[in-house]
Chain A
Amino acid sequence: MSQASTSDGVQETLSAAMDGEAMSDELHGALDAASRDDELRAKWERMHLASAVMRGALTTSGSPPASAPLGTKRGRRAAKPSRRPRLRLGPAVAAVVAVLAALTVVLVADLVQEEGSPNLVAATAPAPTASMPAAAESTDVQPLLQEVVELGPIDRRRMNAYMLQHARYNAAAGTAGIPLARVLGDPPTAELEEE
């Protein structure tokens, strides 16, 4: 390694360059020196490696290195659970969910009244209303609601049967949630087809 490249000044500049803190005029000379000096380049690489380890970029457990002061920004960031990929449902899906929630209220109320069991209405009707997005109350939803209501007779029977089942389950279990995902995703079953 040449005397010039091993000087503390050059190495200090390279250290500052790692952080984007080297001055333009000195950076040229330091990079020139590094270009000529294998050992200096190797050292620069090791410093970057150590920096990456300290910054948590190469940790294996997701926790900050043992030396990370608790409560530091980086420590807190590393301590956060890793982000999971999110399913990005668009507003259209949200609108459909809202419509189905609204539809659920109407259907369940009708069905339960037909069954002559007013207690079930009390058990099921408030829940979807509470979790219903505000958009469901908007008049924009009405045409969509109209489309959903105009289901074919088989679909309507399936929906009604399912909602009735669920209303009974809710009443028995003391829960009030409406599993909209199942409404959307359940394939027709033999039991429902028979009804």
Chain B
Amino acid sequence: MTEQIPQQGRCADTDGELVRRVQGGDGMAFDLLYRRHCHRIHALVARFVATKEDVEDVVQEAFIKAYRALPRFRGDSAFYTWLYRIAVNTAKNFNATRMRRPVPVELDPDGSDSPNIESLQDSADPESLLRRDELERVIAAALADLPEDLRVAVTLREFDGLTYGEIAAIMECPVGTVRSRIFRAREAIDEAIRPLIAADARNRRTVRFR
């Protein structure tokens, strides 16, 4: 049995850690992976598949495929890149079986931290658009209400994609302070969007049980 080397002081690969847990039999770790990536995968699939119901089916199928294949995932590529490919292939297969013409897109999972999912208007239904618009509005308002140091920290992270170290250099404060500010900003945003998400979840349940 090999001894585990302590890795104190080094940033961890969150996905890598969760993948190792799943491979070790921790099913709950997959739930965390799902929650971490489901929104981006949902947006990705919506570029290929027309209706909301079909998108949800394809996303579910993609995650099931990923779960089944995860024991064989060796980590040669990043987990999200691997998941991205599974989702795209699942969506294409779905379209092929439905004899639909797939939407041609340029695949570039590594091109940025989000794979160019900027346009969902072609496939999203009005209800989804309204929800997203509302979400954007609430988040923008929450950001505007933040104290300046929190707003700057979270903005540099989310909009500019800077690392904590880079933000610390810009804000002339320790990395730990940046981390704390980003967390507090996210907490405030979460407070703002929680009622919206809860209401949305209630509406979805109502629609499903009709």
Contacts and interface: CB of A to CB of B under 8 A. Distances in A.
Interface of A: 8, 11-12, 15-25, 27-28, 31, 34-36, 41-62, 64-69, 72-75, 77-78, 82-83, 85-86
Contacts of B135: 49-50, 53, 58
A189 B13 CA distance: 64
22 contacts: A12-B180, A16-B183, A17-B14, A19-B157, A20-B12, A24-B10, A35-B26, A44-B32, A44-B35, A47-B189, A48-B37, A49-B39, A50-B139, A51-B186, A53-B135, A54-B154, A55-B114, A57-B114, A57-B118, A58-B117, A59-B120, A65-B139
Contact of A74 (B8, B11, B12, B160): B160
A45 to B, nearest CB: 4
- Most chain A CB atoms below 10 A, which of B133, B183, B187: B183
Given A66-B136, A73-B161, A35 B129 contact: no
B179 A72 contact: no
Q: How big is the B interface, by class?
A: 35 or more
B31 to A, nearest CB: 7
* Top 8 closest pairs, chain A to chain B, by CB: A24-B7, A45-B35, A57-B114, A35-B28, A54-B158, A24-B12, A15-B183, A67-B140
B159 interface: yes
A18 B14 contact: yes
B179 A12 contact: yes
Interface in B134-169: 135-137, 139-140, 143-144, 154-155, 157-161, 163-164
Nearest to A35: B28
Given A50-B189, A57-B114, A82-B119, A20 B14 contact: yes
Interface of B: 6-14, 17-18, 21, 26, 28-29, 31-32, 35-40, 43, 104-106, 112-114, 116-121, 124, 129, 132-133, 135-137, 139-140, 143-144, 154-155, 157-161, 163-164, 179-180, 182-183, 186-187, 189-190, 193-194, 197
Given A23-B10, A67-B143, A83-B116, A74 B133 contact: no
A65 B35 contact: no
Which DSSP category, helix, strand, loop or mixed, fits chain A's interface?
A: helix
- Most chain A CB atoms below 10 A, which of B29, B39, B105: B39
Contacts, number: 184
Given A25-B8, A65-B140, A31 B104 contact: no
B194 to A, nearest CB: 7
Nearest to A84: B106
- Most chain A CB atoms below 10 A, which of B14, B17, B36: B14
Given A24-B11, A24-B17, A45-B36, 19 more contacts: A11-B187, A22-B11, A42-B35, A44-B32, A46-B194, A49-B39, A49-B193, A52-B39, A54-B159, A57-B114, A58-B117, A58-B120, A58-B135, A59-B120, A59-B132, A65-B136, A66-B140, A74-B160, A77-B112
